[in-house]
Structure formats: C-alpha cells, structure tokens
Amino acid sequence: MIDWNKIENFIGYGNPDAEVLFLGMEEGLGQSADLGGDLAERSRYSQCMDLFDAQGPLDDGQRFFGPNPKSQRTWRPMCHLMLRMLAPSSRPTAEQRVRYQADLLGRSGGATLLAELMPYPNTNVGEWRYAPFGRYPTREAYAVEMLPRRVDLLGTFFRAHNYKLIVAYGKSYWPDFQRIFVGVSWEDRGIFRVGRFGSTAVVLTPHFATRSFNTEAQIDAFADIALGVP
C-alpha cells in the first residue's frame, strides 16, 4: 500500500540534527525500477531515515555500500566536502571519498542530512510515471501544487534545526531554494551563490552530476567556497 502523505512529507536521509544539510531537486530513479514497489517501500519510511537502511531494499541500492562500494556521482562532492571539514588542509582521495560514502554519508547518527526539494523520485525531468497512480496527470500539475507545499515544509524544518552549513545543488532550482531561505542576502562567487540563513552558511551550486564537478580541482574549489562563507 502506498502512503502518499508519508512520501510527500519525507525530509531526507541522515541525521536531522546534522552539521551539514545537502538539498537537491529530487531523488533519482532507475529506468527499470518497479515504481510501485519503490513507493510501497518508501511508505514505510519515517520523516528522516538512515541512508543505508533506506536505500538497501530499493533497486540495486546495495551497490553504494559494503566492502567494495561503487562511487555515486552526486554524492562524490558531498563526501569530499565532509572530509575537508574534518581536515581542512587535506586533499581527499577517491578511495577516501567512497569509503565515507559507504560508511558515513547520510547515516542517522552522522554529520549529514540529504534532503530533496521535491518528494517523488523520478527517472529524469522529461518523464512522468505517476499519472497511472492517480496522483498528478503531468509533472507540471505536480509542481504547481507540490512545490509551494515543500518550500513551506522544508523552510519550517530547517529553521527548527541549527545546521552549520546548507548546500543546495541544481541551478535551475536556485529561485525555489532561495524561497526557502527567507531574508538571506546573496553574493555570487563564480559559479556559486552564498549567503547566511540565520547562523547557517548557505551555498547554492550547480548540480553535482554536471561537468562543473568533473575534476579534482573543481570539487576542491567547491569545498574552499563552502568552508569559507563568512
């Protein structure tokens, strides 16, 4: 059975009282995934879940964990930043990043929370697989109703927690991210936009899966920006 209320009010993976919040636009979904089964599994989630516990039962989710994990492209800059926070002068290796991913990223007792602006997982922005479930006939109809609800939900949730740093990624959604962080004075720094949300530093970035984060120098420059917000 699908519990749409739980899915639509889900916040993310990790520790709600984490030091660092990563906010994306929406969770990905494998092309061959059983969407009904995926949604039924998500209907058992609490509002915040341990990443390993939640992803393990989903489509091929175990490949990112365990003794020989596969690197997940979107999580790569996150892990790099977290390792830099632990040792600011370090230059984390690929092996260190994937080990952080497998063992520490998005864990319920850890230093990170991974959230999404929109709650329904999707294969890509050009495909809409939810019409047969009787929810929204199109992505556009979904966005018109769901986006304002999520902006309010996330804004309320974030204000109730004292994050040291929030990183929101996906440039096409920057205007929506900025609606969550009311009252922030923004400053552009190269491909990034930075500000403060109360005592919390906020960094808006392009999506982590784009070519803006292809090289070691690029992800290190991102970490420098995130660690240096005044």
pLDDT score for 79: 98
Assigned token pair, 119: 């709650």
pLDDT at 58: 66
pLDDT of residue 175: 97
Q: How confident is the model at residue 32, as a pLDDT?
A: 73
Query: C-alpha distances in angstroms, 160 versus 51, 114, 155, 180, 183?
Result: 22, 16, 9, 13, 16
Average pLDDT, whole number, for the chain? 94
Q: Answer for the pair 144, 176: CB distance below 8 angstroms, yes or no.
A: no
Both structure tokens of 72? 């997940």
Q: What is the pLDDT of residue 31?
A: 76
Angle at 9 between CA 226 and CA 58, to 5 degrees: 80
**Which pLDDT belongs to residue 60?**
66
Q: At 149, is the pLDDT very low, low, confident or very high (cuts 50, 70, 90)?
A: very high
Burial 74-83 (b: 16+ CB within 10 A, else e): bbbbbbbbbb
pLDDT tens digits for range 159-216: 999 999 999 999 999 999 999 999 999 999 999 999 998 899 999 999 999 999 999 9
Q: How far apart are CA 211 and CA 105, in angstroms?
A: 22
* pLDDT one-digit tens code per residue, 33-69: 789 999 999 999 999 999 999 987 765 668 899 899 9
How do residues 5-31 score in pLDDT, each as one tens digit?
999 999 999 999 999 999 999 998 877
Q: How many residues are listed for the chain in this entry? A: 230
- Per-residue model confidence (pLDDT) at position 55: 85
User: Which residues form the domain of 210?
Assistant: 4-227
Q: What is the CATH number of the domain that holds 128?
A: 3.40.470.10
C-alpha dist (Å) from residue 139 to 11, 119, 127, 149, 150: 20, 12, 8, 15, 15
CA–CA dist 119, 74 (Å, integer): 17
Number of domains composing the chain = 1
How many whole angstroms separate alpha carbon 168 and alpha carbon 21?
8
Ordered DSSP codes for 171-201: GGGHHHHHHHSTTPPPEEETTEEEEEETTEE
C-beta of residue 212 within 8 angstroms of C-beta of residue 191: yes
- Whether the CB-CB separation of 186 and 150 falls below 8 Å is answered with no
Give pLDDT, residue 36: 93
Residue 230 in this model has a pLDDT that exceeds 80: no
Instruction: Please give the average per-residue pLDDT across 103-108, as a whole number.
Output: 98
